Structure 1
Amino acid sequence: MSPRVVPAGFVRAHTRVRQPSSVPEVSLHVADDVVALWEAMETEAGGAGDAPPFWAAAWPGGQALARYVLDTPDVVAGRAVLDLGAGSGLVAIAARLAGARRVLASDVDPFSRTAVRVNAELNGVTGISVTGDVLAREPRGVDVVLAGDVCYDREMTERVLPFLDRARAGGCEVLVGDPGRPYLPHDRLTAVAVREIPETEGPGLRRTTVWRLP
């Protein structure tokens, strides 16, 4: 069965273009009203399933990771990068802007895969390809794995960590952006950057860390 394709026009019609506060170099299609967007996903785009529109926001872990990549381009420059749990594509776009040779953006949500393409086009960025779930695969042909906000619940964390461990064992640089969620095993990681990122929903700041898997 071929993977589902969401029309790019749907993403453009139900979002507006903004720059994430911590990554103003990148423009993204984001939603002002997530509930209205989710309803539109059900009624206009053939059903959203159980997946909220995570792709329509710039989450703190992704912003911190994108900021780190842009500020430390040697991490990705000239290398093949996997953006795991790509969401809006913010981290993938930042990696290309920082000089990554090519980027594979992975997300299980077909709306996200469309949003990545739309946002890459918006920023005039090429060299990003998209794919679905890669967690059951071996991370071949990749030099760097970037994972923003992927440990948002226990079940997802239990799927993600073995993949990251395999990637690191295979020689990949592995960087994770996370705003202090309890499921991430911080004792196994090394902090390389810390930023205060504005909350995605509501006022305030989230202390968000970019971690390296040693």
Structure 2
Amino acid sequence: MLPDFIRSHTIATPVPLVPEITIYQADEPIALWEKTEESGTEQPPPFWAFPWAGGQALARHILDHPQLVAGRSVLDLATGSGLVALAAVRAGADPVTANDVDPLSLAAAEANAALNGMSLRTREADLLDSTPTEQVILAGDVFYSRAMAARVLPFLRRAAAGGALVLVGDPGRAYRPEGLRQRAIHEVPVPESLEGVSSRTTTVWEMQKL
């Protein structure tokens, strides 16, 4: 049922900054959000239906520098559409786990993987109180709220302290922490209906060991 819902409310379209990958994308965010709540149950925003700026920049960086992930285990935290996870698969990472708390997100990630002739693992769970074991942790656009930043930052720091390569894509969100190492900057096309602008300057950051 979930894959059918995704395919019937989105269009398979190449990602602007990462045209090597096509994902199911929605034209109108609010209308889609209303559709997800027609059952009467409150639903999270459909983060899975759009290529967010942080994820696009991070996916581009991985494809441009495949040696960062090739042959290594990867966790794509708060995967959304699965775009970053798919970039990791294409760059040779193995295994790749797409994680989210939203079952629609993971269904979208699986549908997008099939659309691109790829496969990945999915994990529906809140991992932020755990210590990850993967060699690479990828997080696109996770500092969009104070509450999310407060929970995700300790998780990313634990991962870096444990020796993982931790990369974050961020388009200048208000709650991005200080002390990150800049790796790349991209001008990323974004849906104007979501961002209020047609592009965002987006940075790929590396979390340093403390």
TM-score, scaled relative to structure 1: 0.92
Of residues 3, 7, 16, the one that matches 1:8 is 3
Distance 1:184 1:48, change over 3 A: farther
Aligned-residue CA RMSD (Å): 1.3
For each residue in 1:130-173, what CA deviation from the matched residue of structure 2 results, as whole angstroms up to 9, or x when unmatched? Answer: 33221122202x00000000110000000000000110111100
Q: Which amino acid aligns with 2:184?
A: A
- SS state at 1:167 partner: helix
Partner Cα separation in structure 2 for residue 195 and residue 109 of structure 1: 28
Of residues 178, 191, 214, the one that matches 2:182 is 191
- SS state at 1:159 partner: helix
Partner Cα separation in structure 1 for residue 115 and residue 86 of structure 2: 10
Distance 1:47 1:104, change over 3 A: farther
| Equivalent pairs, count | 205
Of residues 97, 108, 119, the one that matches 2:101 is 108
Q: Which amino acid aligns with 1:166?
A: R
Partner Cα separation in structure 1 for residue 181 and residue 37 of structure 2: 41
Partner Cα separation in structure 1 for residue 15 and residue 34 of structure 2: 24
Q: Which amino acid aligns with 2:205?
A: W
Partner Cα separation in structure 2 for residue 150 and residue 168 of structure 1: 16
Q: Which amino acid aligns with 1:210?
A: V
Identify the residue that residue 23 of structure 2 maps to in structure 1.
28
Q: 1:205 and 2:199 equivalent?
A: yes
Task: Calculate percent identity across the aligned residue pairs.
Answer: 52
Q: 1:152 and 2:116 equivalent?
A: no
- Structure 2: runs of 5+ lacking an equivalent: none
Partner Cα separation in structure 2 for residue 126 and residue 72 of structure 1: 21
Distance 1:19 1:170, change over 3 A: same
Contact 2:103 2:124 in 1 (8 A): no
Partner Cα separation in structure 1 for residue 198 and residue 7 of structure 2: 28
Partner Cα separation in structure 2 for residue 39 and residue 138 of structure 1: 35
Partner Cα separation in structure 1 for residue 163 and residue 139 of structure 2: 16
Partner Cα separation in structure 1 for residue 44 and residue 6 of structure 2: 15
Distance 1:129 1:108, change over 3 A: closer
Partner Cα separation in structure 2 for residue 69 and residue 190 of structure 1: 16
TM-score, scaled relative to structure 2: 0.93
Q: 1:90 and 2:83 equivalent?
A: yes
Distance 1:40 1:165, change over 3 A: same
- How far is 1:33 from its partner? 1.6
Distance 1:61 1:47, change over 3 A: farther
- Structure 1: runs of 5+ lacking an equivalent: 1-5
Partner Cα separation in structure 2 for residue 201 and residue 113 of structure 1: 25
Q: Which amino acid aligns with 1:206?
A: R
Contact 2:17 2:188 in 1 (8 A): yes
- SS state at 1:188 partner: coil
- How far is 1:16 from its partner? 0.5
Q: Which amino acid aligns with 2:91?
A: A
Distance 1:168 1:192, change over 3 A: same
